[in-house]
Amino acid sequence: DGGITQSPKYLFRKEGQNVTLSCEQNLNHDAMYWYRQDPGQGLRLIYYSQIVNDFQKGDIAEGYSVSREKKESFPLTVTSAQKNPTAFYLCASSWGGLYNEQFFGPGTRLTVL
Amino acid sequence: GIQVEQSPPDLILQEGANSTLRCNFSDSVNNLQWFHQNPWGQLINLFYIPSGTKQNGRLSATTVATERYSLLYISSSQTTDSGVYFCAVELGNRDDKIIFGKGTRLHILP
């Protein structure tokens, strides 16, 4: 089945460690996105990528890094520079223009201890 | 920056009731979308609606861009409609960003 997957669903890390969240899609979408969601809040855009080997910062990129080496994959690294990394992270992809109908993955809940 | 405000913040209804959710935005936008997040966190795109009215089953949405608001109508609510409804606006050419409101949490009682 076509879709977008994120792994793992739950992730625990010690403070000061880098951690990489996986996002894979087999929808042949060009654009991919990473969002952060905090309790009781809407989503905030971290990074987005419209084509392979190109990506742009969103509103809250500090402390995060991404890569887009393959069309299907857009991993997000949460670095030790991110001051408050505990959150729910959502990956999305879309065809056509930027933010055109986005399909979301199931999310990864990251807890930093 | 642009403000996106959703109302009401919380809504509790009996199954079968109708509801109207509102999204106000403070500046002109390129596009507007409505999303539903179920209690397990999964987000689904409901409508991509820069202006006008669209309908999909029991749900419909209307955006009046000149007056900077959008409405989401849910008729004959079902318990599966529970969750959080977000609107999100795209700022367009001058700033390729998308801004989400804080959402309306809807709880449908059986």
Inter-residue contact B52 to B63 (CB < 8 Å): yes
Buried b (16+ CB within 10 A) or exposed e, B30-49: bbbbbbbbeeebebebbbbb
Predicted pLDDT at B1: 79
Q: How confident is the model at residue B92 (pLDDT cuts 50, 70, 90)?
A: low
Would you call B80 helix, strand, or coil by DSSP? helix
Candidate from A44, A99, A106 with C-beta closest to B41? A106
Q: Please answer yes or no on whether A44 and B100 come within 8 Å at the CB atom.
A: yes
Q: Say how many residues make up chain B.
A: 110
Q: Please answer yes or no on whether B96 and A59 come within 8 Å at the CB atom.
A: no
- Among residues of chain B, what percentage have pLDDT more than 70? 95
Q: A50-64, A92-106, B40-54, B70-84: which has the minimum mean pLDDT?
A: A92-106
| CB neighbour list of residue B36: distance below 8 Å, 6 or more residues apart | B43, B44, B46, B81, B83, B84, B85, B86
Q: Please answer yes or no on whether A90 and B43 come within 8 Å at the CB atom.
A: yes
Distance in angstroms (rounded) separating the CA atoms of residues A34 and A61: 10
Candidate from B31, B42, B97 with C-beta closest to A106? B42
Q: Say how many residues make up chain A.
A: 113
Segment B69-80 shows an average pLDDT of 97
Distance between A69 CA and the closest CA of chain B, angstroms: 22
Q: How confident is the model at residue B93 (pLDDT cuts 50, 70, 90)?
A: low
Q: What is the mean pLDDT of chain B?
A: 93
Q: How confident is the model at residue B103 (pLDDT cuts 50, 70, 90)?
A: very high
Instruction: Indicate whether B94 pLDDT > 70.
Output: no
Distance in angstroms (rounded) separating the CA atoms of residues A97 and A15: 38
- What six digits make up the tokens of A103? 């399909």
> Tens digit of pLDDT for each residue in A70-112?
999 999 999 988 889 999 999 999 987 777 888 999 999 999 9
DSSP bridge pairs for A73: A24, A70
> Tens digit of pLDDT for each residue in B7-48?
999 999 999 999 999 999 998 888 999 999 999 999 999 999
| CB neighbour list of residue B57: distance below 8 Å, 6 or more residues apart | none
